[in-house]
Amino acid sequence: MALTKAQIRDRAGEALGFNPIRQSLESNVATRIEQSYDEVYAMLKEEGLATWASTGSVPNEIVPYVVNLVADGCISLGASAEKIQVIKSEKQLAMPMIRRYVTPAYQSQEDQKDY
């Protein structure tokens, strides 16, 4: 299921350890995570990888990678060393996987046969 900006924010908060599952984030933390989402969206848009509207739902197949990038933008808020290590290691996969799911497979026009 595709997730909204608010749901991405909450998942990033969970990844950072700022809120127990199903509980609200503090308003200043929620605001910073939303800013990080906007920054990630702008970067993906610039790369041609944001295939959804900024206020729309993030496609399901790239949700974990967007959550990771958003969380990475907020580690300075005071995440634990363990959480930071996990986020940084998963960040290595984020952009390649987003590209993989968003970029259509190449189809050669030369191999096409018109019957």
Boundaries of every domain in the chain: 5-100
Tens digits of residue pLDDT in 22-36: 678 888 999 999 999
Query: How many whole angstroms separate alpha carbon 45 and alpha carbon 34?
Result: 16
Q: How confident is the model at residue 88 (pLDDT cuts 50, 70, 90)?
A: very high
DSSP states of 58-80: BPGGGHHHHHHHHHHTTGGGT--
Q: How confident is the model at residue 109 (pLDDT cuts 50, 70, 90)?
A: low
Query: How many whole angstroms separate alpha carbon 87 and alpha carbon 82?
Result: 9
The pTM is what?
0.85
Higher pLDDT, 105 or 49: 49
pLDDT of residue 95: 93
Residue 6's Cα: distance from chain center in Å?
12
Q: How confident is the model at residue 94 (pLDDT cuts 50, 70, 90)?
A: very high
N-to-C CA span, the chain: 40
Span 34-45, average pLDDT: 96
User: Average per-residue pLDDT in the chain?
Assistant: 88
pLDDT of residue 2: 86
The partner residues of 58 in beta bridges, in order of sequence, read 3
